[in-house]
């Protein structure tokens, strides 16, 4: 049964963790009377705890799958972004093993020194071909890709226009760029047009999530492209949660809408649906070549391990031929939305694997998450400041690795918990 203890695995892992903690404690330097050096932060941590906003980490003791071992117990997990169920796919594991045998483990240098391996180069070529763009450039993470692209493309004297619900990495990138930042209401194309029409910025850059990570809805990409073409702006699409999932061939939001424009700078991550790690930016040759010269998070960091690039080359084949996985995922989404019947909570409108169930208060959302864990389901509670006050929610993430039965059992548990809490 999910949620029951798995004593052998859990005991071995917990004993290993305890040994590691003991070693660290023994080797840690003496405090030297510095315990109060961060007392101000200790007070703020206590305040977060009182408000039900203190975050904690779970200990994953198994591969990332639909069924996981966490803290010595087994659960059905609805909390990862492994949308196609590839994170522990045997083909990717074997590709990584062969990649390590051929290329070693670490890259040992940045891409511009001597860290750009043949595996990285092949992966970039395959990503560009998959996306139908002239060039693609690998980054270590989606956060670094957004920071690198935005700060390289615009600066002082330029203007950024950002959806109010964008990911934190886009917000931070906009602030670091030193460009003038204007934020428009979520999906409000009319407001964006007014801002673009009134802007005197030298360069104009529109930033948006393609699939919004906490709401699950999809940006109005065709309208955004039309505005950018009309006003001479660039459009950076963060398709972290659409790549591999949306579109008949898994090419993401642009394929989903059958949209294209040379003004689009496309970013997607490789640790979600692709099942591995990293990110890439795809676009026109001049745009990507400029990032090689000016994107600081690309230039000043060690390249990702080439063995991961080898695994990602295999992953792209699975994505391209993954129609059955995507079809199953769509069936899971439809079944969840059909089966969840709650009166006081709100299942937000979403046709993506991100299915947010708004509970309201942070403490209540945490309590529901804990009650689900007691029934063998891991569903994270998302609280402020990640989402606005009063909209704390359960972020249900579906994967092609889930079964219809998994989804029906989760829906039944949610329906029962809401009735009990009335």
- Active site residues per annotation: 213, 241, 272
Give the closest residue to 103 by CA, choosing from 305, 369, 295: 305
Tell me which long-range contacts 337-341 makes (C-beta under 8 A, separation of at least 24): 339/407, 339/408, 339/411, 339/412, 339/415, 340/411, 340/414, 340/415, 341/415
E strands present in 258-368: 264-269, 279-283, 346-347, 354-360
CA of residue 41 relative to chain centroid, distance? 28
Give the closest residue to 130 by CA, choosing from 266, 1, 17, 20: 266
3-state secondary structure of 5: strand
Tell me which long-range contacts 281-286 makes (C-beta under 8 A, separation of at least 24): 281/136, 281/137, 281/139, 281/145, 281/148, 281/149, 282/127, 282/128, 282/131, 282/133, 282/135, 282/136, 282/137, 283/133, 283/134, 283/135, 284/133, 284/134, 284/135, 285/134, 285/135
- Find out whether 148 and 296 touch, Cβ atoms under 8 Å: yes
- Find out whether 313 and 126 touch, Cβ atoms under 8 Å: yes
Q: Which spans in 132-280 are helix H? A: 142-153, 168-177, 189-198, 221-231, 253-257
């Amino acid at each position: 049964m999910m949620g029951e203890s798995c004593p052998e695995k859990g005991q071995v892992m917990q004993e290993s963790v305890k040994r590691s903690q003991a070693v660290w404690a023994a080797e840690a330097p003496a405090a030297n009377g510095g315990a109060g050096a961060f007392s101000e932060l200790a007070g703020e941590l206590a305040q977060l705890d009182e408000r039900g906003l203190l975050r904690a980490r779970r200990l994953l003791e198994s591969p990332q799958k639909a069924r996981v071992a966490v803290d010595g117990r087994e659960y059905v997990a609805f909390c990862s972004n492994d949308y196609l169920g590839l994170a522990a796919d045997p083909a990717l594991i074997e590709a990584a093993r062969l990649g390590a045998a051929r290329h070693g483990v670490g890259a040992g240098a940045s891409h511009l020194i001597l860290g750009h391996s043949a595996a990285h180069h092949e992966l970039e070529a395959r990503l560009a071909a998959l996306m139908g763009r002239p060039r693609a450039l690998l980054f270590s993470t989606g956060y670094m890709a957004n920071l690198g692209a935005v700060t390289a493309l615009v600066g002082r004297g330029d203007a950024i226009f950002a959806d109010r619900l964008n990911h934190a990495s886009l917000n931070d990138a906009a602030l670091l760029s030193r460009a003038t930042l204007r934020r428009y209401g979520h999906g409000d194309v009319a407001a964006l047009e007014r801002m673009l029409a009134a802007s005197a910025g030298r360069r104009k850059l529109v930033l948006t999530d393609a699939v919004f990570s906490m709401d699950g809805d999809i940006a109005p990409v065709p309208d955004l492209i039309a505005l950018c073409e009309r006003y001479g702006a660039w459009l950076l699409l963060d398709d972290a949660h659409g790549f591999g999932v949306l579109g008949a061939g898994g090419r993401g939001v642009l394929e989903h809408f059958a949209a294209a424009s040379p003004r689009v700078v496309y970013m997607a991550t490789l640790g979600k649906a692709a099942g591995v790690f990293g990110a890439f930016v795809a676009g026109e040759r001049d745009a990507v070549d400029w990032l090689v010269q000016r994107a600081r998070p690309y230039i000043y960091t060690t390249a990702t391990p080439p063995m991961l690039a080898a695994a990602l080359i295999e992953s792209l084949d699975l994505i391209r031929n993954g129609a059955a996985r995507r079809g199953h995922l769509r069936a899971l989404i439809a079944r969840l939305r059909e089966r969840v019947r709650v009166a006081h909570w709100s299942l937000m409108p979403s046709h993506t694997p991100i299915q947010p169930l708004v509970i309201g208060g942070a403490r209540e959302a945490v309590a529901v998450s804990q009650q689900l864990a007691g029934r063998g389901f891991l569903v994270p509670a998302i609280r402020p400041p990640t989402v606005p006050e009063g909209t704390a929610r359960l972020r249900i993430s579906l994967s092609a690795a889930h079964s219809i039965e998994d989804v029906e059992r989760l829906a039944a548990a949610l329906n029962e918990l809401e009735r009990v809490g009335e």
